[in-house]
Structure 1
Amino acid sequence: MEKVRRWVREDFGLDVGELSPVRHGADVAAQVWKAATVTNTYAVKWSGAGTNTGHQVASFLADSGIPGIPELVRTSEGGLWSFHGKKRLTVTPWIDGVRAGEAGLTSEQWTEYGVLLRRVHEAEPPERLRNALPRHSPVNARIPALGQQLQLRLTTEPPADDVEAELAEVWEEHQDTITGLLTARAPEPSTPRVVCHADPHLGNVLVDGRVHLIDWDDVVLAPREQDLMFMLGGLGSLGPTSDEHLTAFFTGYGDVELDQPAVTYYRHARALEDVVLWAEQALAGPDREDCIDILRGVLGPGGLAQLALS
């Protein structure tokens, strides 16, 4: 951790004393610390995920005055991040709030969240930034090939240990669903594209009296259904769990005519991503057995995979 203190001091001019690891989220490519100086507390993130444009968009949104978007602390040279070992180091003010993925949101907070996401979708970044935004998640490009590799390994090779044996059993139990995800794909939507967070489930929402949307690594320029799909079922406690909460969200978001083929496309893409990446992490770690439990939820009744194929 001493190297992280040095990076933060040299790159951002912050003399960090206490530095504590934070274990939240599914991004194995990222490490996060809570960092305290004499006067303030910060979130320090070192990540190889996503693209640089995500941080540029987050900074633009925060500078535009949209509440609930964390500001990025600038480097000593005025940048939004520094690089170490091909990973970006970013610093934001620490949000001392509860994680909505664990505590949920009240109806009033769901409405506030709807307002926030609508403002993100209505944002008009400069043309240079808009043109630089990816049109698809960088993760999605490698998912089909990785899925086929997992299919081959889990159906034809002997398991290396008990955890892999359990994973193979889950894979076999849901083979029809997994095959459907790997082989069927809805056509890509051609509806208008807006700035999308691309991962706006409640695991990326903090509440400290205000609703905050964090983790902007994966921002894309896509139809709004890319984000709204997360509000329409299949996410368990990471999305609205009642009609009341769904209504509250859209009360804040406002009137919108959803393009159902676009919802289907992004739901399918996310379901396949979740199945493949949780299975991969169950093989490689960390938290291998927890990953199998999450995979069961994705594949089981009411999960995103079956909803994507319905």
Structure 2
Amino acid sequence: MGETLMRKWLLGDFGLEVVELTPVAYGADVAAQVWKASTATNVYAVKWSGAGTNTGHQLAAFLADSGLAGVPELIRTTEGGLWSVHAKKRLTITPWIDGLRAAETGLTDEQWSEYGELLRRVHDAEPPHRLRDALPKHSHIDARTPAIADEVARRLETPVGEVAEELAAVWAQYEHVITDLRTNRPPRPDGPRVVCHGDPHLGNVLVDRGLHLIDWDDVIYAPREQDLMFMLGGMGDVGPTTPAQQNAFLTGYGPHTLDQDAIHYYRHVRAFEDVIGWAHQALTGPEETYALAVVKGILSHGLAALAVSAER
């Protein structure tokens, strides 16, 4: 999608006359494109994405409008909407946060406590019943993962290229883990549901003078363990890496008795999504070699290894 067309959309949809537009690399979400857009007076983050659901942006707007610090506001369209749509993808705008991703900088113990407080405020939020009832109850990524898993398996029957051949070898080495993830899912938890971000790892946290939780595409109404799972091991550099960091987060988060069965369920689900998603990217691009390395890490010592080891 060209710069000229994006400038036209920003002017027509949001009334923003952009003087500088710069593409920004955006993590693992191959369905999204992100730009830094400057006007004569302000700087914005622009995202054009086909991922997630509309309710995620509605919830993020509710939280920001309610004054929840750490959730960026959504800039309204000229007609008062939260997004516009082009080619079946949502175009959303937030103020530009001039900070670094926590996945790159890490967090101090004090910041881990601050992040625990932020996530607790998200979980304790009480949106209007109409919005709450519209929130997804199940992961849209999880729903489409089995079909992608079948495609990956077919491609690996006759791998083409060095990366695919190496991935096929990895698939064979960890066949027992992959089979477990595909066929041995734990029972779905039935505990109390709260507003969950759905993907609160450090790749979605920006750090400047405070912490900012971004990318609300995967919002879900679920037991809070859906989010807390990310803070309890197996996430590498995008989660706590020491007991002190984990304790700092939990101290900031405050009192809650963890449902270990729910943690196990969401860990298992996420491990399956990640293994299959990154394997598919290793086969189809972009950054095939990097995606292959991620798959290896998840299976050998990351979330998948942790999920399956709990069952043995």
TM-score with structure 1 length normalisation? 0.98
Residues 1:158 and 2:148 are matched in the alignment: no
* Partners of 2:27 and 2:203 within 8 A in 1: yes
What's the offset of the Cα at 1:182?
Answer: 0.7
Alignment of 1:1-310 (within 5 A): 1-154=3-156, 157-301=157-301, 303-310=302-309
Q: Which whole-Å CA distance do the structure 1 matches of 2:239 and 2:73 have between them?
A: 25
For residue 234 of structure 1, what is the amino acid of its counterpart? G
Structure 2 residue runs without a partner (length 5+) = none
Deviations 1:226-265, CA, capped at 9 Å, x for gaps: 0000000000110001111111111110011011110011
1:164-193 C-alpha deviation (Å, 9 max, x unpaired) = 111111111111111111110111100000
RMSD: 0.8
Looking at structure 1, the residues matched to 160 and 246 of structure 2 have their Cα atoms a distance apart, in angstroms, of 43
Partner secondary structure for residue 46 of structure 1: strand
SS at match of 1:66: coil
For these two proteins, the number of residue pairs brought into alignment is 307
Letter in 2 for 1:93: P
Whole-Å Cα distance in 2 between the matches of residues 114 and 163 of structure 1? 39
Amino acid at match of 1:207: V
Amino acid at match of 1:122: D
What is the identity, as a one-letter code, of the residue corresponding to 1:56?
Answer: Q
2:26–2:33 Cα contact (<8 Å) kept: no
> What SS does the aligned partner of 2:123 have?
helix
What is the rounded CA distance, in whole Å, between the counterparts of 1:98 and 1:148 in structure 2?
A: 37
Task: Give the Cα separation in 1 of the matches to 2:187 and 2:152.
Answer: 24
Amino acid across the alignment from 1:146: I
Structure 2 CA distance, aligned partners of 1:257 and 1:89?
39
CA distance in 2, matches of 1:258, 1:284: 38
**SS of 2:140's equivalent?**
coil
Deviations 1:81-119 (A, max 9, x none): 000000000000000001100110001111110000000
Shift of 1:158: 2.0
Q: Is the 8 Å Cα contact of residues 205 and 213 (structure 2) preserved in structure 1?
A: yes
Question: 1:148 Cα deviation (Å)?
Answer: 3.0
Cα shift at 1:149: 3.1
2:161 alignment partner AA: D
Give, in whole Å, the separation in 2 of the partners of 1:4 and 1:167: 37
User: What amino acid sits opposite 2:174 in the alignment?
Assistant: H
Runs of 4+ with >4 A deviation = none
The one-letter code of the counterpart of 1:306 is: A
Once the two structures are TM-superposed, the CA of residue 24 in structure 1 deviates from its matched residue by: 2.4
Match of 1:34, SS state, is: strand
